[in-house]
Structure 1
Protein backbone atom coordinates (compact mmCIF):
# COMPACT_ATOMS: atom_id res chain seq x y z
CA UNK A 1 0.00 0.00 0.00
CA UNK A 2 1.44 3.43 -0.85
CA UNK A 3 2.08 5.58 2.14
CA UNK A 4 0.91 9.15 2.44
CA UNK A 5 3.04 11.07 0.02
CA UNK A 6 3.54 14.45 -1.57
CA UNK A 7 1.13 17.31 -1.66
CA UNK A 8 -1.57 17.12 -4.33
CA UNK A 9 -3.12 20.56 -4.47
CA UNK A 10 -5.81 21.66 -6.84
CA UNK A 11 -3.83 23.86 -9.15
CA UNK A 12 -5.03 27.09 -10.77
CA UNK A 13 -5.94 27.35 -14.44
CA UNK A 14 -3.27 28.20 -17.01
CA UNK A 15 -3.94 31.93 -16.84
CA UNK A 16 -1.94 31.98 -13.62
CA UNK A 17 0.85 29.72 -14.88
CA UNK A 18 3.98 30.57 -16.82
CA UNK A 19 3.43 31.37 -20.47
CA UNK A 20 5.38 28.85 -22.53
CA UNK A 21 5.07 27.58 -26.10
CA UNK A 22 2.39 24.87 -26.44
CA UNK A 23 3.55 21.29 -26.37
CA UNK A 24 1.46 20.39 -29.40
CA UNK A 25 -1.19 21.68 -31.76
CA UNK A 26 -4.81 21.85 -30.69
CA UNK A 27 -6.06 18.72 -32.45
CA UNK A 28 -3.31 16.53 -30.98
CA UNK A 29 -3.88 18.00 -27.53
CA UNK A 30 -7.61 17.27 -27.58
CA UNK A 31 -7.07 13.71 -28.84
CA UNK A 32 -4.65 13.01 -26.00
CA UNK A 33 -6.93 14.64 -23.42
CA UNK A 34 -9.79 12.44 -24.63
CA UNK A 35 -7.69 9.30 -24.18
CA UNK A 36 -6.59 10.42 -20.72
CA UNK A 37 -10.20 11.05 -19.70
CA UNK A 38 -11.30 7.65 -21.00
CA UNK A 39 -8.66 5.92 -18.92
CA UNK A 40 -9.45 7.97 -15.85
CA UNK A 41 -13.08 6.88 -16.10
CA UNK A 42 -11.92 3.27 -16.24
CA UNK A 43 -9.74 3.78 -13.16
CA UNK A 44 -12.64 5.27 -11.20
CA UNK A 45 -14.85 2.34 -12.20
CA UNK A 46 -12.14 -0.07 -11.01
CA UNK A 47 -12.28 1.17 -7.41
CA UNK A 48 -13.86 -1.33 -5.02
CA UNK A 49 -15.94 -0.03 -2.10
CA UNK A 50 -13.52 -1.62 0.37
CA UNK A 51 -10.68 0.47 -1.11
CA UNK A 52 -12.26 3.86 -0.43
CA UNK A 53 -10.42 4.28 2.88
CA UNK A 54 -6.97 3.50 1.45
CA UNK A 55 -4.28 6.13 1.53
CA UNK A 56 -3.03 7.69 -1.69
CA UNK A 57 0.14 9.44 -2.85
CA UNK A 58 -1.71 12.66 -1.98
CA UNK A 59 -1.22 13.36 1.71
CA UNK A 60 -4.53 15.23 1.93
CA UNK A 61 -6.77 12.57 0.39
CA UNK A 62 -7.78 8.96 0.78
CA UNK A 63 -9.12 7.05 -2.24
CA UNK A 64 -12.68 8.30 -1.70
CA UNK A 65 -11.56 11.94 -1.64
CA UNK A 66 -9.22 11.54 -4.61
CA UNK A 67 -11.92 9.80 -6.63
CA UNK A 68 -14.43 12.53 -5.79
CA UNK A 69 -11.91 15.18 -6.85
CA UNK A 70 -11.37 13.45 -10.18
CA UNK A 71 -15.10 13.14 -10.80
CA UNK A 72 -15.53 16.89 -10.38
CA UNK A 73 -12.53 17.89 -12.50
CA UNK A 74 -14.04 17.91 -16.04
CA UNK A 75 -17.02 20.02 -14.94
CA UNK A 76 -14.72 22.49 -13.18
CA UNK A 77 -12.50 22.69 -16.26
CA UNK A 78 -15.52 23.45 -18.44
CA UNK A 79 -16.96 25.99 -16.02
CA UNK A 80 -13.65 27.81 -15.95
CA UNK A 81 -13.32 27.80 -19.73
CA UNK A 82 -16.79 29.29 -20.05
CA UNK A 83 -15.95 32.09 -17.64
CA UNK A 84 -17.75 30.77 -14.58
CA UNK A 85 -16.45 31.02 -11.04
CA UNK A 86 -14.57 27.92 -9.90
CA UNK A 87 -13.55 27.28 -6.30
CA UNK A 88 -10.51 25.11 -6.89
CA UNK A 89 -10.03 24.51 -3.17
CA UNK A 90 -13.60 23.44 -2.38
CA UNK A 91 -13.93 19.79 -1.28
CA UNK A 92 -15.63 17.57 -3.84
CA UNK A 93 -18.90 15.93 -2.77
CA UNK A 94 -18.59 12.23 -1.92
CA UNK A 95 -19.56 9.65 -4.51
CA UNK A 96 -19.39 5.92 -5.18
CA UNK A 97 -17.25 4.19 -7.81
CA UNK A 98 -20.26 3.29 -9.98
CA UNK A 99 -21.96 6.67 -9.81
CA UNK A 100 -18.65 8.48 -9.94
CA UNK A 101 -17.54 6.72 -13.11
CA UNK A 102 -20.84 7.51 -14.83
CA UNK A 103 -20.76 11.16 -13.76
CA UNK A 104 -17.12 11.52 -14.74
CA UNK A 105 -17.67 10.09 -18.21
CA UNK A 106 -20.66 12.34 -18.87
CA UNK A 107 -18.72 15.42 -17.75
CA UNK A 108 -15.67 14.34 -19.74
CA UNK A 109 -17.84 14.04 -22.85
CA UNK A 110 -19.13 17.58 -22.27
CA UNK A 111 -15.57 18.86 -21.98
CA UNK A 112 -14.36 17.15 -25.15
CA UNK A 113 -17.45 18.31 -27.05
CA UNK A 114 -16.62 21.86 -26.01
CA UNK A 115 -13.09 21.59 -27.36
CA UNK A 116 -14.39 20.13 -30.62
CA UNK A 117 -16.81 23.04 -30.99
CA UNK A 118 -14.02 25.54 -30.38
CA UNK A 119 -11.81 23.79 -32.91
CA UNK A 120 -8.57 25.43 -33.96
CA UNK A 121 -9.29 28.47 -31.80
CA UNK A 122 -8.68 26.42 -28.65
CA UNK A 123 -5.58 27.09 -26.59
CA UNK A 124 -3.51 23.88 -26.67
CA UNK A 125 -1.69 24.96 -23.52
CA UNK A 126 -4.96 24.99 -21.58
CA UNK A 127 -5.86 21.58 -22.98
CA UNK A 128 -2.45 20.20 -22.01
CA UNK A 129 -2.89 21.60 -18.50
CA UNK A 130 -6.14 19.65 -18.19
CA UNK A 131 -4.42 16.52 -19.47
CA UNK A 132 -1.69 16.96 -16.87
CA UNK A 133 -4.19 17.22 -14.03
CA UNK A 134 -6.12 14.17 -15.20
CA UNK A 135 -3.06 12.01 -15.87
CA UNK A 136 -1.42 12.81 -12.55
CA UNK A 137 -4.50 12.03 -10.51
CA UNK A 138 -5.24 8.91 -12.53
CA UNK A 139 -1.73 7.75 -11.66
CA UNK A 140 -2.40 8.60 -8.00
CA UNK A 141 -5.59 6.55 -8.03
CA UNK A 142 -4.06 3.62 -9.91
CA UNK A 143 -1.12 3.58 -7.51
CA UNK A 144 -3.41 3.65 -4.47
CA UNK A 145 -5.64 0.76 -5.57
CA UNK A 146 -2.88 -1.27 -7.30
CA UNK A 147 -4.67 -0.99 -10.64
CA UNK A 148 -2.52 -2.82 -13.16
CA UNK A 149 -4.06 -1.53 -16.39
CA UNK A 150 -1.25 0.03 -18.49
CA UNK A 151 -1.62 3.80 -18.52
CA UNK A 152 -1.64 5.74 -21.80
CA UNK A 153 2.01 6.69 -22.47
CA UNK A 154 1.20 9.50 -24.92
CA UNK A 155 -0.80 11.30 -22.25
CA UNK A 156 1.99 11.03 -19.70
CA UNK A 157 4.57 12.22 -22.23
CA UNK A 158 2.43 15.26 -23.05
CA UNK A 159 1.85 15.98 -19.38
CA UNK A 160 5.52 15.63 -18.47
CA UNK A 161 6.59 18.00 -21.26
CA UNK A 162 3.96 20.53 -20.20
CA UNK A 163 4.75 20.34 -16.50
CA UNK A 164 8.50 20.54 -17.08
CA UNK A 165 8.00 23.74 -19.07
CA UNK A 166 5.63 25.21 -16.50
CA UNK A 167 7.51 24.26 -13.36
CA UNK A 168 11.21 25.13 -13.27
CA UNK A 169 12.89 24.34 -9.97
CA UNK A 170 12.95 27.98 -8.90
CA UNK A 171 9.18 28.35 -9.06
CA UNK A 172 7.89 25.10 -7.54
CA UNK A 173 6.79 26.97 -4.43
CA UNK A 174 4.56 24.97 -2.10
CA UNK A 175 2.31 23.59 -4.83
CA UNK A 176 4.51 20.54 -5.34
CA UNK A 177 6.81 18.48 -3.18
CA UNK A 178 10.43 18.37 -4.39
CA UNK A 179 10.99 16.26 -7.48
CA UNK A 180 12.07 12.67 -6.87
CA UNK A 181 15.10 11.35 -8.76
CA UNK A 182 14.39 8.35 -10.98
CA UNK A 183 16.38 6.65 -13.71
CA UNK A 184 15.81 8.07 -17.18
CA UNK A 185 14.51 4.72 -18.40
CA UNK A 186 11.76 4.55 -15.77
CA UNK A 187 8.21 4.35 -17.18
CA UNK A 188 7.01 7.76 -18.32
CA UNK A 189 4.08 7.81 -15.88
CA UNK A 190 6.49 7.19 -13.01
CA UNK A 191 8.78 9.97 -14.26
CA UNK A 192 5.81 12.33 -14.42
CA UNK A 193 4.74 11.42 -10.90
CA UNK A 194 8.31 11.81 -9.64
CA UNK A 195 8.66 15.24 -11.23
CA UNK A 196 5.42 16.24 -9.50
CA UNK A 197 6.79 15.15 -6.13
CA UNK A 198 5.41 11.63 -5.81
CA UNK A 199 7.70 8.66 -5.18
CA UNK A 200 6.64 5.71 -7.38
CA UNK A 201 8.88 3.37 -5.39
CA UNK A 202 6.73 3.64 -2.26
Structure 2
Protein backbone atom coordinates (compact mmCIF):
# COMPACT_ATOMS: atom_id res chain seq x y z
CA UNK A 1 0.00 0.00 0.00
CA UNK A 2 1.34 3.44 -0.90
CA UNK A 3 1.81 6.32 1.53
CA UNK A 4 -0.97 8.13 -0.29
CA UNK A 5 -3.36 5.29 0.48
CA UNK A 6 -2.36 5.09 4.12
CA UNK A 7 -3.87 8.49 4.88
CA UNK A 8 -7.26 7.15 3.76
CA UNK A 9 -6.91 4.28 6.24
CA UNK A 10 -5.94 6.63 9.07
CA UNK A 11 -8.77 9.03 8.33
CA UNK A 12 -11.36 6.24 8.02
CA UNK A 13 -10.54 5.10 11.56
CA UNK A 14 -10.53 8.71 12.81
CA UNK A 15 -13.95 9.35 11.27
CA UNK A 16 -15.37 6.28 13.00
CA UNK A 17 -14.02 7.42 16.37
CA UNK A 18 -15.14 11.05 15.96
CA UNK A 19 -18.61 9.89 14.93
CA UNK A 20 -18.94 7.98 18.20
CA UNK A 21 -17.96 10.81 20.56
CA UNK A 22 -20.93 11.98 22.58
CA UNK A 23 -21.35 15.61 23.62
CA UNK A 24 -21.19 14.47 27.24
CA UNK A 25 -17.64 13.17 26.64
CA UNK A 26 -16.01 16.50 25.70
CA UNK A 27 -14.62 17.02 29.19
CA UNK A 28 -13.13 13.51 29.43
CA UNK A 29 -9.35 13.43 29.95
CA UNK A 30 -7.22 11.98 27.15
CA UNK A 31 -3.90 10.13 27.30
CA UNK A 32 -2.39 13.30 25.81
CA UNK A 33 -2.16 14.87 29.26
CA UNK A 34 -2.39 18.49 28.15
CA UNK A 35 -5.75 17.91 26.46
CA UNK A 36 -9.21 16.76 27.41
CA UNK A 37 -11.42 15.70 24.48
CA UNK A 38 -12.61 19.27 23.87
CA UNK A 39 -9.07 20.68 23.79
CA UNK A 40 -7.85 17.87 21.56
CA UNK A 41 -10.69 18.51 19.10
CA UNK A 42 -9.75 22.21 19.22
CA UNK A 43 -6.13 21.29 18.49
CA UNK A 44 -7.12 19.19 15.48
CA UNK A 45 -9.45 21.87 14.09
CA UNK A 46 -6.91 24.63 14.67
CA UNK A 47 -3.88 23.00 13.01
CA UNK A 48 -5.68 21.04 10.26
CA UNK A 49 -5.54 23.76 7.58
CA UNK A 50 -1.79 24.15 8.07
CA UNK A 51 -1.26 20.40 7.66
CA UNK A 52 -3.36 20.40 4.50
CA UNK A 53 -1.52 23.43 3.13
CA UNK A 54 1.80 21.65 3.64
CA UNK A 55 0.58 18.88 1.32
CA UNK A 56 -0.08 21.50 -1.37
CA UNK A 57 3.26 23.23 -0.67
CA UNK A 58 1.37 26.27 0.59
CA UNK A 59 2.12 27.98 3.85
CA UNK A 60 -1.13 28.35 5.70
CA UNK A 61 -0.52 30.22 8.93
CA UNK A 62 -2.65 29.21 11.86
CA UNK A 63 -5.66 31.43 12.51
CA UNK A 64 -5.09 34.65 14.42
CA UNK A 65 -7.08 33.29 17.35
CA UNK A 66 -5.34 30.90 19.68
CA UNK A 67 -5.96 27.19 19.72
CA UNK A 68 -7.98 27.59 22.92
CA UNK A 69 -10.37 29.99 21.18
CA UNK A 70 -12.01 27.42 18.90
CA UNK A 71 -15.65 27.34 20.00
CA UNK A 72 -17.14 23.85 19.99
CA UNK A 73 -20.54 25.19 21.00
CA UNK A 74 -20.98 27.00 17.68
CA UNK A 75 -22.15 24.72 14.89
CA UNK A 76 -21.51 21.02 14.61
CA UNK A 77 -17.93 20.40 15.78
CA UNK A 78 -18.08 16.71 14.82
CA UNK A 79 -19.07 17.56 11.24
CA UNK A 80 -16.37 20.25 11.11
CA UNK A 81 -13.74 17.81 12.35
CA UNK A 82 -14.91 15.11 9.93
CA UNK A 83 -14.69 17.60 7.05
CA UNK A 84 -11.19 18.57 8.17
CA UNK A 85 -10.10 14.94 8.32
CA UNK A 86 -11.49 14.33 4.83
CA UNK A 87 -9.57 17.38 3.62
CA UNK A 88 -6.41 15.88 5.16
CA UNK A 89 -7.05 12.66 3.29
CA UNK A 90 -7.59 14.47 0.00
CA UNK A 91 -4.51 16.67 0.42
CA UNK A 92 -2.08 13.94 1.50
CA UNK A 93 -3.68 11.39 -0.84
CA UNK A 94 -2.03 13.15 -3.78
CA UNK A 95 1.35 11.65 -4.79
CA UNK A 96 2.75 15.17 -5.26
CA UNK A 97 2.16 15.90 -1.57
CA UNK A 98 4.97 13.49 -0.69
CA UNK A 99 7.59 14.91 -3.08
CA UNK A 100 9.97 17.83 -2.78
CA UNK A 101 9.97 20.06 0.25
CA UNK A 102 7.28 21.80 2.22
CA UNK A 103 6.81 23.75 5.41
CA UNK A 104 4.58 23.69 8.46
CA UNK A 105 4.65 27.46 8.74
CA UNK A 106 8.27 27.77 9.85
CA UNK A 107 11.01 29.38 7.82
CA UNK A 108 12.88 26.17 7.04
CA UNK A 109 11.55 23.75 4.44
CA UNK A 110 11.45 20.07 5.28
CA UNK A 111 11.26 17.00 3.06
CA UNK A 112 7.59 16.51 2.22
CA UNK A 113 7.82 12.80 2.96
CA UNK A 114 8.93 13.65 6.53
CA UNK A 115 5.99 16.02 7.00
CA UNK A 116 3.59 13.48 5.48
CA UNK A 117 4.76 10.82 7.91
CA UNK A 118 4.27 13.31 10.77
CA UNK A 119 0.72 13.94 9.57
CA UNK A 120 -0.02 10.21 9.47
CA UNK A 121 1.38 9.82 12.96
CA UNK A 122 -0.64 12.79 14.21
CA UNK A 123 -3.87 11.33 12.86
CA UNK A 124 -3.20 7.86 14.27
CA UNK A 125 -2.00 8.93 17.72
CA UNK A 126 -4.67 11.57 18.28
CA UNK A 127 -7.36 9.17 17.06
CA UNK A 128 -6.08 6.70 19.65
CA UNK A 129 -6.19 9.48 22.28
CA UNK A 130 -9.82 10.26 21.44
CA UNK A 131 -10.76 6.58 21.35
CA UNK A 132 -9.20 5.90 24.73
CA UNK A 133 -10.84 8.95 26.28
CA UNK A 134 -14.28 7.91 25.04
CA UNK A 135 -14.13 4.16 25.67
CA UNK A 136 -13.69 3.09 22.05
CA UNK A 137 -11.48 0.31 20.67
CA UNK A 138 -11.09 0.95 16.93
CA UNK A 139 -9.67 -1.50 14.45
CA UNK A 140 -6.44 -0.33 12.83
CA UNK A 141 -5.02 -1.14 9.42
CA UNK A 142 -1.84 -3.19 9.91
CA UNK A 143 0.08 -1.56 7.06
CA UNK A 144 -0.71 1.89 8.42
CA UNK A 145 0.53 0.98 11.90
CA UNK A 146 3.68 -0.61 10.48
CA UNK A 147 4.47 2.59 8.57
CA UNK A 148 3.80 4.88 11.55
CA UNK A 149 5.75 2.64 13.93
CA UNK A 150 8.79 2.51 11.64
CA UNK A 151 8.69 6.28 11.26
CA UNK A 152 8.37 6.87 15.01
CA UNK A 153 11.26 4.52 15.77
CA UNK A 154 13.39 6.90 13.68
CA UNK A 155 11.88 10.24 14.70
CA UNK A 156 10.61 9.90 18.28
CA UNK A 157 14.01 10.62 19.88
CA UNK A 158 14.12 13.99 18.10
CA UNK A 159 10.51 14.72 19.03
CA UNK A 160 11.32 13.91 22.66
CA UNK A 161 14.32 16.24 22.60
CA UNK A 162 12.03 19.01 21.31
CA UNK A 163 9.51 18.38 24.10
CA UNK A 164 6.84 17.10 21.71
CA UNK A 165 6.76 13.59 23.20
CA UNK A 166 7.19 12.33 26.73
CA UNK A 167 9.68 9.63 27.67
CA UNK A 168 9.16 6.36 25.83
CA UNK A 169 6.96 3.92 27.74
CA UNK A 170 8.35 0.39 27.82
CA UNK A 171 6.02 -2.25 26.41
CA UNK A 172 6.72 -5.89 25.54
CA UNK A 173 8.21 -6.44 22.09
CA UNK A 174 5.17 -8.53 21.21
CA UNK A 175 2.62 -5.94 22.38
CA UNK A 176 0.00 -4.96 19.81
CA UNK A 177 1.47 -2.59 17.25
CA UNK A 178 -0.83 0.30 18.24
CA UNK A 179 0.48 -0.04 21.81
CA UNK A 180 4.08 0.14 20.54
CA UNK A 181 3.20 3.19 18.42
CA UNK A 182 1.68 5.20 21.27
CA UNK A 183 4.38 4.08 23.73
CA UNK A 184 6.99 5.70 21.51
CA UNK A 185 5.16 9.00 21.99
CA UNK A 186 5.21 8.70 25.79
CA UNK A 187 1.66 7.43 26.19
CA UNK A 188 0.82 4.43 28.36
CA UNK A 189 -1.21 1.93 26.34
TM-score calculated relative to the size of structure 1: 0.73
Deviates more, 1:168-177 or 1:57-66: 168-177
Does 2:167 match 1:178? yes
Structure with the bigger RCO (C-alpha within 8 Å, sep 6+) is: 1
Q: Find the aligned partners of 1:47 and 1:32 in 2 and give their Cα distance.
A: 23
Q: In 2, are the aligned partners of 1:39 and 1:151 still within 8 Å (CA)?
A: yes
- TM superposition outliers: structure 1 runs of 4+ over 4 Å: none
**Residue equivalent to 1:31:** 5
What SS does structure 2 have at the residue aligned with 1:129? helix
The RMSD of aligned alpha carbons is 2.7
Deviates more, 1:65-74 or 1:164-173: 164-173
Does 2:96 match 1:118? yes
1:77 corresponds, among 47, 51, 56, to: 51
**Residue equivalent to 2:107:** none
**Residue equivalent to 1:102:** 79
Query: In structure 2, do the counterparts of structure 1 residues 95 and 38 end up closer, same or farther at CA, with 3 Å as the change threshold?
Result: farther
Q: Find the aligned partners of 1:111 and 1:58 in 2 and give their Cα distance.
A: 21
CA-CA distance at 1:184 after TM superposition: 0.9
Instruction: List alignment gaps of at least 5 residues for structure 2.
Output: 101-111
Query: In structure 2, do the counterparts of structure 1 residues 111 and 199 end up closer, same or farther at CA, with 3 Å as the change threshold?
Result: closer
CA-CA distance at 1:174 after TM superposition: 2.2
Deviates more, 1:146-155 or 1:120-129: 120-129
Aligned length in residues: 172
TM-score calculated relative to the size of structure 2: 0.77
Q: Find the aligned partners of 2:185 and 2:47 in 1 and give their Cα distance.
A: 18
